[in-house]
Structure 1
Protein backbone atom coordinates (compact mmCIF):
# COMPACT_ATOMS: atom_id res chain seq x y z
CA UNK A 1 0.00 0.00 0.00
CA UNK A 2 1.52 3.32 -1.07
CA UNK A 3 0.43 6.71 0.18
CA UNK A 4 0.67 9.13 -2.78
CA UNK A 5 -2.86 10.45 -2.24
CA UNK A 6 -1.78 11.95 1.09
CA UNK A 7 1.27 13.78 -0.27
CA UNK A 8 -0.32 17.20 -0.21
CA UNK A 9 -1.10 16.97 3.50
CA UNK A 10 2.23 15.59 4.73
CA UNK A 11 4.59 17.77 6.75
CA UNK A 12 7.78 18.42 4.82
CA UNK A 13 9.79 15.70 6.54
CA UNK A 14 7.29 12.86 6.24
CA UNK A 15 7.82 11.76 2.60
CA UNK A 16 11.43 11.06 3.61
CA UNK A 17 10.26 8.67 6.31
CA UNK A 18 7.51 6.65 4.58
CA UNK A 19 7.69 5.02 1.12
CA UNK A 20 6.16 7.41 -1.40
CA UNK A 21 6.69 5.93 -4.89
CA UNK A 22 5.23 8.14 -7.64
CA UNK A 23 2.14 6.66 -9.30
CA UNK A 24 1.70 6.96 -13.06
CA UNK A 25 -0.29 4.97 -15.59
CA UNK A 26 1.42 4.79 -18.97
CA UNK A 27 -0.82 3.60 -21.84
CA UNK A 28 0.66 1.69 -24.77
CA UNK A 29 -2.02 1.69 -27.50
CA UNK A 30 0.30 0.12 -30.08
CA UNK A 31 0.91 -3.06 -28.12
CA UNK A 32 -0.26 -6.19 -29.92
CA UNK A 33 -2.60 -7.12 -27.03
CA UNK A 34 -4.32 -3.73 -27.26
CA UNK A 35 -4.80 -4.01 -31.01
CA UNK A 36 -6.06 -7.57 -30.59
CA UNK A 37 -8.53 -6.54 -27.88
CA UNK A 38 -10.14 -4.07 -30.28
CA UNK A 39 -11.20 -6.94 -32.54
CA UNK A 40 -13.25 -8.72 -29.85
CA UNK A 41 -16.93 -7.99 -29.45
CA UNK A 42 -16.97 -8.95 -25.77
CA UNK A 43 -14.99 -6.99 -23.17
CA UNK A 44 -11.41 -8.20 -22.98
CA UNK A 45 -9.64 -8.11 -19.63
CA UNK A 46 -6.11 -7.04 -20.41
CA UNK A 47 -3.07 -7.91 -18.38
CA UNK A 48 -1.52 -5.17 -16.31
CA UNK A 49 2.19 -4.81 -15.61
CA UNK A 50 3.01 -2.82 -12.51
CA UNK A 51 6.55 -1.73 -11.69
CA UNK A 52 7.44 -0.11 -8.37
CA UNK A 53 10.52 2.10 -8.35
CA UNK A 54 11.58 3.75 -5.12
CA UNK A 55 14.65 4.93 -3.26
CA UNK A 56 16.93 2.18 -1.98
CA UNK A 57 16.25 1.29 1.63
CA UNK A 58 18.44 -0.64 4.07
CA UNK A 59 17.45 -2.85 7.03
CA UNK A 60 17.86 -1.42 10.49
CA UNK A 61 20.07 -4.37 11.47
CA UNK A 62 22.78 -2.93 9.19
CA UNK A 63 23.27 0.04 11.52
CA UNK A 64 26.23 -0.19 13.89
CA UNK A 65 26.49 3.49 14.84
CA UNK A 66 24.36 4.16 17.94
CA UNK A 67 23.72 7.80 16.97
CA UNK A 68 22.37 6.69 13.57
CA UNK A 69 20.19 4.07 15.22
CA UNK A 70 18.80 6.63 17.64
CA UNK A 71 17.90 8.97 14.77
CA UNK A 72 16.14 6.15 12.91
CA UNK A 73 13.98 5.20 15.89
CA UNK A 74 13.00 8.81 16.49
CA UNK A 75 12.15 9.35 12.82
CA UNK A 76 10.01 6.21 12.69
CA UNK A 77 8.18 7.11 15.90
CA UNK A 78 7.37 10.61 14.61
CA UNK A 79 6.19 9.22 11.27
CA UNK A 80 4.05 6.58 12.94
CA UNK A 81 2.47 9.22 15.16
CA UNK A 82 1.70 11.44 12.17
CA UNK A 83 0.12 8.57 10.24
CA UNK A 84 -2.10 7.80 13.23
CA UNK A 85 -3.13 11.33 14.10
CA UNK A 86 -3.49 12.78 10.60
CA UNK A 87 -4.04 9.85 8.22
CA UNK A 88 -6.02 7.77 10.77
CA UNK A 89 -3.89 4.70 10.04
CA UNK A 90 -2.69 1.88 12.28
CA UNK A 91 0.39 0.19 10.82
CA UNK A 92 -0.11 -3.08 12.79
CA UNK A 93 3.17 -4.79 11.82
CA UNK A 94 6.22 -3.03 13.22
CA UNK A 95 9.24 -5.34 13.15
CA UNK A 96 12.89 -5.40 12.13
CA UNK A 97 11.73 -6.28 8.61
CA UNK A 98 9.94 -2.98 8.00
CA UNK A 99 11.80 -0.37 10.01
CA UNK A 100 14.36 0.71 7.44
CA UNK A 101 16.66 3.62 6.73
CA UNK A 102 18.01 5.56 3.79
CA UNK A 103 20.96 7.91 3.55
CA UNK A 104 20.71 11.46 2.27
CA UNK A 105 23.19 13.06 -0.11
CA UNK A 106 25.17 14.27 2.91
CA UNK A 107 25.38 10.75 4.34
CA UNK A 108 22.91 11.45 7.14
CA UNK A 109 20.49 8.61 7.94
CA UNK A 110 16.71 8.93 7.77
CA UNK A 111 14.46 6.35 9.40
CA UNK A 112 11.74 4.92 7.14
CA UNK A 113 8.57 3.14 8.23
CA UNK A 114 8.04 0.63 5.44
CA UNK A 115 5.70 -2.22 4.45
CA UNK A 116 2.11 -1.02 4.46
CA UNK A 117 0.59 -4.46 3.82
CA UNK A 118 -1.47 -4.64 7.03
CA UNK A 119 -2.56 -1.09 7.87
CA UNK A 120 -6.14 -0.30 8.71
CA UNK A 121 -8.10 2.83 9.38
CA UNK A 122 -8.66 3.50 13.07
CA UNK A 123 -11.89 1.92 14.24
CA UNK A 124 -12.44 -0.19 11.13
CA UNK A 125 -13.55 -3.82 11.32
CA UNK A 126 -10.05 -4.93 10.29
CA UNK A 127 -8.65 -3.57 13.55
CA UNK A 128 -10.34 -6.56 15.24
CA UNK A 129 -8.22 -8.98 13.19
CA UNK A 130 -4.81 -10.12 14.39
CA UNK A 131 -1.92 -8.89 12.26
CA UNK A 132 1.81 -8.64 12.78
CA UNK A 133 4.99 -10.64 13.27
CA UNK A 134 4.64 -12.84 16.37
CA UNK A 135 7.90 -12.02 18.25
CA UNK A 136 7.20 -8.30 17.85
CA UNK A 137 3.47 -8.41 18.61
CA UNK A 138 2.11 -6.81 21.77
CA UNK A 139 1.28 -9.02 24.74
CA UNK A 140 -2.46 -8.46 24.31
CA UNK A 141 -2.30 -9.50 20.65
CA UNK A 142 -0.43 -12.73 21.41
CA UNK A 143 -3.51 -13.91 23.32
CA UNK A 144 -5.76 -16.60 21.76
CA UNK A 145 -8.59 -14.05 21.41
CA UNK A 146 -6.87 -10.71 20.78
CA UNK A 147 -8.64 -7.41 21.46
CA UNK A 148 -9.02 -4.47 19.07
CA UNK A 149 -5.64 -3.27 17.80
CA UNK A 150 -4.63 0.00 19.49
CA UNK A 151 -1.75 2.35 18.80
CA UNK A 152 -0.12 1.38 22.10
CA UNK A 153 0.21 -2.13 20.69
CA UNK A 154 2.34 -0.72 17.87
CA UNK A 155 4.42 1.26 20.37
CA UNK A 156 5.04 -2.00 22.21
CA UNK A 157 6.15 -3.59 18.93
CA UNK A 158 8.51 -0.66 18.34
CA UNK A 159 10.05 -1.36 21.74
CA UNK A 160 10.65 -5.00 20.85
CA UNK A 161 12.44 -3.83 17.70
CA UNK A 162 14.64 -1.66 19.91
CA UNK A 163 15.37 -4.67 22.13
CA UNK A 164 16.31 -6.70 19.07
CA UNK A 165 18.61 -3.95 17.82
CA UNK A 166 20.59 -3.07 20.95
CA UNK A 167 20.42 -5.98 23.42
CA UNK A 168 22.44 -9.22 23.47
CA UNK A 169 20.65 -12.13 21.74
CA UNK A 170 20.67 -14.26 24.91
CA UNK A 171 18.49 -11.60 26.62
CA UNK A 172 15.69 -11.93 24.09
CA UNK A 173 13.85 -15.02 25.33
CA UNK A 174 10.61 -14.59 23.43
CA UNK A 175 12.26 -14.57 19.98
CA UNK A 176 13.07 -18.28 20.16
CA UNK A 177 10.06 -19.89 21.87
CA UNK A 178 6.68 -21.16 20.74
CA UNK A 179 4.09 -18.53 19.93
CA UNK A 180 1.78 -19.85 22.65
CA UNK A 181 4.41 -18.96 25.28
CA UNK A 182 5.35 -15.51 23.98
CA UNK A 183 2.76 -13.48 25.87
CA UNK A 184 3.80 -14.91 29.25
CA UNK A 185 7.51 -14.49 28.44
CA UNK A 186 7.04 -10.83 27.50
CA UNK A 187 4.84 -10.10 30.50
CA UNK A 188 7.32 -11.67 32.94
CA UNK A 189 10.10 -9.59 31.39
CA UNK A 190 8.30 -6.35 32.20
CA UNK A 191 8.10 -7.36 35.86
CA UNK A 192 11.86 -7.94 36.00
CA UNK A 193 14.71 -5.47 35.69
CA UNK A 194 15.09 -3.68 32.37
CA UNK A 195 17.39 -5.29 29.81
CA UNK A 196 20.93 -3.95 29.54
CA UNK A 197 22.12 -2.90 26.06
CA UNK A 198 25.14 -4.66 24.63
CA UNK A 199 28.56 -3.07 24.39
CA UNK A 200 28.60 -0.04 22.13
CA UNK A 201 24.93 0.76 22.74
CA UNK A 202 25.10 1.62 26.45
CA UNK A 203 23.58 5.04 25.74
CA UNK A 204 20.25 3.35 25.05
CA UNK A 205 19.92 2.25 28.69
CA UNK A 206 17.92 5.39 29.54
CA UNK A 207 15.43 4.64 26.76
CA UNK A 208 15.26 0.98 27.77
CA UNK A 209 14.60 1.76 31.43
CA UNK A 210 12.04 4.49 30.72
CA UNK A 211 10.02 2.38 28.28
CA UNK A 212 10.31 -0.68 30.54
CA UNK A 213 8.93 1.35 33.47
CA UNK A 214 6.08 2.75 31.36
CA UNK A 215 4.92 -0.74 30.42
CA UNK A 216 5.49 -2.16 33.90
CA UNK A 217 3.32 0.54 35.49
CA UNK A 218 0.79 0.20 32.68
CA UNK A 219 0.51 -3.57 32.95
CA UNK A 220 0.13 -3.32 36.73
CA UNK A 221 -2.64 -0.76 36.25
CA UNK A 222 -4.28 -3.07 33.70
CA UNK A 223 -4.07 -6.01 36.11
CA UNK A 224 -5.52 -3.95 38.97
CA UNK A 225 -8.33 -2.77 36.71
CA UNK A 226 -9.20 -6.30 35.60
CA UNK A 227 -9.15 -7.52 39.20
CA UNK A 228 -11.19 -4.57 40.44
CA UNK A 229 -8.44 -3.23 42.68
CA UNK A 230 -8.42 0.34 41.40
CA UNK A 231 -9.77 3.03 43.70
CA UNK A 232 -13.52 3.38 43.22
CA UNK A 233 -14.22 6.16 40.76
CA UNK A 234 -10.63 6.29 39.51
CA UNK A 235 -10.70 6.20 35.68
CA UNK A 236 -8.67 3.68 33.73
CA UNK A 237 -7.80 4.38 30.09
CA UNK A 238 -7.21 1.07 28.31
CA UNK A 239 -5.96 2.83 25.17
CA UNK A 240 -2.88 4.03 27.05
CA UNK A 241 -2.61 1.43 29.84
CA UNK A 242 -3.83 3.90 32.40
CA UNK A 243 -2.01 6.86 30.84
CA UNK A 244 1.40 5.17 31.04
CA UNK A 245 1.91 4.28 27.35
CA UNK A 246 0.98 7.16 25.07
CA UNK A 247 2.38 9.23 22.23
CA UNK A 248 3.23 12.00 24.67
CA UNK A 249 5.08 9.71 27.10
CA UNK A 250 7.04 8.09 24.26
CA UNK A 251 7.82 11.50 22.78
CA UNK A 252 9.48 12.54 26.03
CA UNK A 253 11.53 9.33 26.01
CA UNK A 254 12.60 9.48 22.37
CA UNK A 255 13.58 13.14 22.65
CA UNK A 256 16.12 12.21 25.32
CA UNK A 257 19.82 11.55 24.63
CA UNK A 258 20.42 12.73 21.06
CA UNK A 259 21.15 16.31 22.09
CA UNK A 260 24.05 14.99 24.17
CA UNK A 261 25.61 13.17 21.23
CA UNK A 262 25.19 15.49 18.25
CA UNK A 263 26.44 18.98 17.55
CA UNK A 264 23.98 21.85 17.65
CA UNK A 265 24.08 22.31 13.86
CA UNK A 266 23.20 18.67 13.19
CA UNK A 267 20.53 18.66 15.87
CA UNK A 268 18.68 21.56 14.23
CA UNK A 269 18.32 19.42 11.10
CA UNK A 270 16.77 16.42 12.85
CA UNK A 271 13.14 15.48 12.81
CA UNK A 272 13.26 15.33 16.59
CA UNK A 273 12.76 19.09 16.67
CA UNK A 274 9.36 18.68 15.01
CA UNK A 275 6.65 18.80 17.65
CA UNK A 276 3.00 17.92 17.56
CA UNK A 277 0.05 18.59 19.77
CA UNK A 278 -1.47 15.22 20.49
CA UNK A 279 -5.00 14.71 19.23
CA UNK A 280 -5.36 11.45 21.12
Structure 2
Protein backbone atom coordinates (compact mmCIF):
# COMPACT_ATOMS: atom_id res chain seq x y z
CA UNK A 1 0.00 0.00 0.00
CA UNK A 2 1.55 3.27 -1.10
CA UNK A 3 1.09 6.49 0.79
CA UNK A 4 1.68 9.92 -0.63
CA UNK A 5 2.95 12.66 1.62
CA UNK A 6 2.61 16.27 0.55
CA UNK A 7 5.43 18.75 0.82
CA UNK A 8 3.41 20.76 3.34
CA UNK A 9 3.12 17.75 5.66
CA UNK A 10 6.89 17.30 5.51
CA UNK A 11 7.37 20.92 6.47
CA UNK A 12 8.93 21.91 3.15
CA UNK A 13 8.34 25.36 1.75
CA UNK A 14 6.65 25.36 -1.63
CA UNK A 15 8.14 27.62 -4.33
CA UNK A 16 6.03 30.69 -5.02
CA UNK A 17 3.73 30.55 -8.01
CA UNK A 18 5.27 32.50 -10.91
CA UNK A 19 3.59 35.83 -11.44
CA UNK A 20 1.74 36.41 -14.72
CA UNK A 21 1.45 40.13 -14.12
CA UNK A 22 4.39 41.19 -16.32
CA UNK A 23 3.39 39.11 -19.39
CA UNK A 24 -0.24 40.23 -19.04
CA UNK A 25 0.69 43.91 -18.80
CA UNK A 26 3.03 43.53 -21.79
CA UNK A 27 0.29 41.95 -23.90
CA UNK A 28 -2.16 44.69 -22.91
CA UNK A 29 0.31 47.46 -23.74
CA UNK A 30 1.17 45.89 -27.12
CA UNK A 31 -2.51 45.48 -27.93
CA UNK A 32 -3.24 49.11 -27.05
CA UNK A 33 -0.36 50.30 -29.24
CA UNK A 34 -1.57 48.20 -32.18
CA UNK A 35 -5.15 49.49 -31.81
CA UNK A 36 -3.94 53.07 -31.47
CA UNK A 37 -1.72 52.77 -34.56
CA UNK A 38 -4.55 51.20 -36.56
CA UNK A 39 -7.04 53.87 -35.49
CA UNK A 40 -4.64 56.59 -36.62
CA UNK A 41 -4.45 55.30 -40.19
CA UNK A 42 -6.76 56.86 -42.81
CA UNK A 43 -8.39 53.55 -43.73
CA UNK A 44 -11.83 53.30 -45.24
CA UNK A 45 -12.89 49.96 -43.84
CA UNK A 46 -15.85 49.81 -46.20
CA UNK A 47 -13.43 49.18 -49.08
CA UNK A 48 -11.95 46.06 -47.48
CA UNK A 49 -14.83 43.92 -48.67
CA UNK A 50 -14.13 44.92 -52.28
CA UNK A 51 -10.53 43.66 -52.21
CA UNK A 52 -11.24 40.03 -53.24
CA UNK A 53 -13.29 41.20 -56.21
CA UNK A 54 -10.57 43.64 -57.31
CA UNK A 55 -7.91 40.94 -57.02
CA UNK A 56 -9.99 38.61 -59.17
CA UNK A 57 -10.57 41.37 -61.72
CA UNK A 58 -6.92 42.36 -62.13
CA UNK A 59 -5.79 38.74 -61.91
CA UNK A 60 -8.03 37.97 -64.88
CA UNK A 61 -6.61 40.94 -66.81
CA UNK A 62 -3.03 39.81 -66.16
CA UNK A 63 -3.19 36.03 -66.45
CA UNK A 64 -6.20 35.21 -68.64
CA UNK A 65 -4.25 35.99 -71.83
CA UNK A 66 -0.63 37.08 -71.11
CA UNK A 67 1.21 38.98 -73.82
CA UNK A 68 4.21 36.81 -74.77
CA UNK A 69 5.50 39.19 -77.46
CA UNK A 70 7.77 40.89 -74.90
CA UNK A 71 9.18 37.61 -73.59
CA UNK A 72 12.68 37.99 -75.20
CA UNK A 73 13.06 41.45 -73.66
CA UNK A 74 11.75 40.14 -70.33
CA UNK A 75 14.32 37.31 -70.33
CA UNK A 76 17.10 39.78 -71.08
CA UNK A 77 16.02 42.06 -68.23
CA UNK A 78 15.69 39.05 -65.93
CA UNK A 79 19.26 38.06 -66.76
CA UNK A 80 20.31 41.63 -65.97
CA UNK A 81 18.59 41.41 -62.59
CA UNK A 82 20.30 38.06 -61.88
CA UNK A 83 23.67 39.55 -62.84
CA UNK A 84 22.99 42.51 -60.58
CA UNK A 85 22.10 40.19 -57.71
CA UNK A 86 25.20 38.03 -58.30
CA UNK A 87 27.59 41.00 -58.35
CA UNK A 88 25.95 42.38 -55.22
CA UNK A 89 26.34 39.04 -53.46
CA UNK A 90 30.03 38.81 -54.40
CA UNK A 91 30.70 42.36 -53.15
CA UNK A 92 28.83 41.58 -49.95
CA UNK A 93 30.74 38.35 -49.29
CA UNK A 94 34.16 39.83 -50.07
CA UNK A 95 33.62 42.63 -47.57
CA UNK A 96 31.52 40.92 -44.89
CA UNK A 97 33.63 37.80 -44.32
CA UNK A 98 36.85 39.55 -43.21
CA UNK A 99 34.96 42.23 -41.29
CA UNK A 100 32.65 39.66 -39.72
CA UNK A 101 35.58 37.53 -38.59
CA UNK A 102 37.21 40.59 -37.01
CA UNK A 103 33.92 41.26 -35.20
CA UNK A 104 33.88 37.76 -33.68
CA UNK A 105 34.71 37.29 -30.03
CA UNK A 106 38.20 35.87 -29.64
CA UNK A 107 39.41 37.11 -33.04
CA UNK A 108 39.23 40.89 -33.12
CA UNK A 109 40.09 43.22 -30.21
CA UNK A 110 37.29 44.92 -28.31
CA UNK A 111 38.07 48.37 -29.71
CA UNK A 112 37.54 46.99 -33.24
CA UNK A 113 34.86 44.40 -32.55
CA UNK A 114 32.27 46.71 -31.04
CA UNK A 115 32.42 49.42 -33.78
CA UNK A 116 32.11 46.74 -36.47
CA UNK A 117 29.03 45.27 -34.81
CA UNK A 118 27.57 48.76 -34.54
CA UNK A 119 28.26 49.32 -38.25
CA UNK A 120 26.51 46.07 -39.14
CA UNK A 121 23.49 47.12 -37.06
CA UNK A 122 23.29 50.52 -38.79
CA UNK A 123 23.46 48.92 -42.25
CA UNK A 124 20.75 46.41 -41.31
CA UNK A 125 18.52 49.30 -40.30
CA UNK A 126 18.64 50.77 -43.83
CA UNK A 127 16.46 49.05 -46.47
CA UNK A 128 17.97 48.32 -49.87
CA UNK A 129 15.62 50.82 -51.53
CA UNK A 130 16.86 53.67 -49.30
CA UNK A 131 20.48 52.81 -50.06
CA UNK A 132 19.70 52.68 -53.80
CA UNK A 133 18.03 56.11 -53.65
CA UNK A 134 21.09 57.55 -51.92
CA UNK A 135 23.40 56.00 -54.51
CA UNK A 136 21.32 57.29 -57.43
CA UNK A 137 22.67 60.79 -56.85
CA UNK A 138 26.22 59.50 -57.33
CA UNK A 139 26.09 56.63 -59.82
CA UNK A 140 22.90 57.48 -61.75
CA UNK A 141 20.19 55.19 -63.09
CA UNK A 142 22.33 52.16 -63.93
CA UNK A 143 22.30 48.46 -62.95
CA UNK A 144 25.58 49.12 -61.14
CA UNK A 145 23.58 51.22 -58.68
CA UNK A 146 21.39 48.22 -57.90
CA UNK A 147 24.36 45.87 -57.55
CA UNK A 148 26.15 48.31 -55.26
CA UNK A 149 23.01 48.81 -53.15
CA UNK A 150 22.55 45.05 -52.80
CA UNK A 151 26.20 44.62 -51.85
CA UNK A 152 26.16 47.34 -49.21
CA UNK A 153 22.79 46.32 -47.76
CA UNK A 154 23.88 42.70 -47.45
CA UNK A 155 27.00 43.52 -45.44
CA UNK A 156 24.97 44.15 -42.28
CA UNK A 157 23.18 40.80 -42.27
CA UNK A 158 26.05 38.80 -43.75
CA UNK A 159 28.55 40.24 -41.27
CA UNK A 160 26.29 39.28 -38.38
CA UNK A 161 25.98 35.74 -39.74
CA UNK A 162 29.77 35.51 -40.06
CA UNK A 163 30.70 36.50 -36.52
CA UNK A 164 27.90 34.41 -35.01
CA UNK A 165 29.10 31.39 -37.02
CA UNK A 166 32.72 31.95 -35.96
CA UNK A 167 31.69 32.24 -32.31
CA UNK A 168 29.71 28.98 -32.49
CA UNK A 169 32.71 26.94 -33.70
CA UNK A 170 33.95 24.28 -31.28
CA UNK A 171 36.88 25.36 -29.10
CA UNK A 172 38.86 22.13 -29.43
CA UNK A 173 40.63 22.99 -32.70
CA UNK A 174 41.36 26.54 -31.54
CA UNK A 175 42.89 25.29 -28.30
CA UNK A 176 45.01 22.79 -30.22
CA UNK A 177 46.43 25.50 -32.49
CA UNK A 178 47.13 27.76 -29.50
CA UNK A 179 48.82 24.89 -27.69
CA UNK A 180 51.10 24.46 -30.71
CA UNK A 181 52.17 28.09 -30.40
CA UNK A 182 49.81 29.65 -32.92
CA UNK A 183 48.52 33.19 -32.57
CA UNK A 184 45.21 34.75 -33.52
CA UNK A 185 45.99 34.66 -37.25
CA UNK A 186 46.96 30.97 -37.13
CA UNK A 187 43.87 30.09 -35.06
CA UNK A 188 41.65 31.88 -37.54
CA UNK A 189 43.30 30.26 -40.56
CA UNK A 190 43.71 26.68 -39.36
CA UNK A 191 40.93 26.24 -36.77
CA UNK A 192 38.06 28.69 -37.26
CA UNK A 193 37.97 29.04 -41.04
CA UNK A 194 37.91 25.28 -41.94
CA UNK A 195 35.11 24.69 -39.45
CA UNK A 196 33.02 27.71 -40.49
CA UNK A 197 33.63 27.71 -44.26
CA UNK A 198 30.71 25.39 -45.23
CA UNK A 199 28.21 27.44 -43.24
CA UNK A 200 29.59 30.71 -44.59
CA UNK A 201 29.36 29.46 -48.18
CA UNK A 202 25.78 28.40 -47.52
CA UNK A 203 24.98 31.86 -46.14
CA UNK A 204 26.58 33.46 -49.22
CA UNK A 205 24.32 31.47 -51.53
CA UNK A 206 21.33 32.36 -49.39
CA UNK A 207 22.31 36.02 -49.72
CA UNK A 208 22.26 35.55 -53.50
CA UNK A 209 18.72 34.17 -53.26
CA UNK A 210 17.65 37.23 -51.26
CA UNK A 211 19.29 39.53 -53.80
CA UNK A 212 17.33 37.88 -56.63
CA UNK A 213 14.05 38.88 -55.03
CA UNK A 214 15.27 42.31 -53.93
CA UNK A 215 16.68 43.20 -57.37
CA UNK A 216 13.15 43.24 -58.77
CA UNK A 217 12.15 45.77 -56.11
CA UNK A 218 15.18 47.95 -56.81
CA UNK A 219 14.15 48.07 -60.47
CA UNK A 220 11.03 49.95 -59.38
CA UNK A 221 13.20 52.91 -58.32
CA UNK A 222 15.15 52.98 -61.56
CA UNK A 223 18.02 50.59 -60.86
CA UNK A 224 17.32 48.57 -64.02
CA UNK A 225 16.44 44.97 -64.60
CA UNK A 226 13.07 43.26 -64.69
CA UNK A 227 11.75 45.59 -61.98
CA UNK A 228 12.07 48.66 -64.20
CA UNK A 229 10.26 46.91 -67.02
CA UNK A 230 7.53 45.80 -64.61
CA UNK A 231 7.11 49.35 -63.27
CA UNK A 232 6.87 50.84 -66.77
CA UNK A 233 4.16 48.48 -68.01
CA UNK A 234 2.26 48.81 -64.73
CA UNK A 235 2.22 52.60 -65.13
CA UNK A 236 0.84 52.22 -68.66
CA UNK A 237 -1.82 49.73 -67.41
CA UNK A 238 -0.78 47.05 -69.89
CA UNK A 239 -1.93 44.26 -67.63
CA UNK A 240 -1.43 41.41 -70.09
CA UNK A 241 2.28 42.29 -70.32
CA UNK A 242 2.47 42.73 -66.55
CA UNK A 243 1.07 39.23 -66.11
CA UNK A 244 3.72 37.80 -68.43
CA UNK A 245 6.45 39.62 -66.49
CA UNK A 246 5.17 38.30 -63.18
CA UNK A 247 5.20 34.76 -64.55
CA UNK A 248 8.82 35.22 -65.69
CA UNK A 249 9.82 36.64 -62.31
CA UNK A 250 8.17 33.81 -60.37
CA UNK A 251 9.64 31.06 -62.58
CA UNK A 252 13.13 32.57 -62.54
CA UNK A 253 13.08 33.10 -58.78
CA UNK A 254 11.84 29.59 -58.03
CA UNK A 255 14.43 28.08 -60.38
CA UNK A 256 17.29 30.01 -58.78
CA UNK A 257 16.04 29.10 -55.30
CA UNK A 258 15.88 25.40 -56.20
CA UNK A 259 19.38 25.36 -57.69
CA UNK A 260 20.87 27.40 -54.86
CA UNK A 261 19.13 25.26 -52.25
CA UNK A 262 20.52 22.08 -53.81
CA UNK A 263 24.03 23.56 -53.81
CA UNK A 264 23.69 24.66 -50.20
CA UNK A 265 22.56 21.20 -49.13
CA UNK A 266 25.50 19.70 -51.03
CA UNK A 267 27.91 22.03 -49.23
CA UNK A 268 26.54 21.48 -45.73
CA UNK A 269 25.55 17.79 -45.98
CA UNK A 270 27.28 16.35 -49.03
CA UNK A 271 30.58 15.31 -47.44
CA UNK A 272 28.84 13.73 -44.48
CA UNK A 273 26.40 11.83 -46.68
CA UNK A 274 29.18 10.59 -48.98
CA UNK A 275 31.16 9.46 -45.94
CA UNK A 276 28.12 7.64 -44.57
CA UNK A 277 27.62 5.85 -47.90
CA UNK A 278 31.29 4.79 -48.03
CA UNK A 279 31.12 3.59 -44.42
CA UNK A 280 27.93 1.64 -45.12
CA UNK A 281 29.46 0.10 -48.24
CA UNK A 282 32.57 -0.88 -46.29
CA UNK A 283 30.48 -2.62 -43.63
CA UNK A 284 28.58 -4.49 -46.35
CA UNK A 285 31.85 -5.65 -47.91
CA UNK A 286 33.12 -6.87 -44.55
CA UNK A 287 29.90 -8.78 -43.94
CA UNK A 288 30.16 -10.30 -47.45
CA UNK A 289 33.73 -11.47 -46.77
CA UNK A 290 32.70 -13.07 -43.53
| Structure number with higher strand proportion | 1
- TM-score, shorter chain, exceeding 0.5: no
Higher RCO (C-alpha 8 Å, min separation 6)? 2
TM-score category (smaller protein): under 0.3
Q: TM-score, normalization: structure 1?
A: 0.25
User: TM-score, normalized by length of structure 2?
Assistant: 0.25
More helix, by proportion: 2
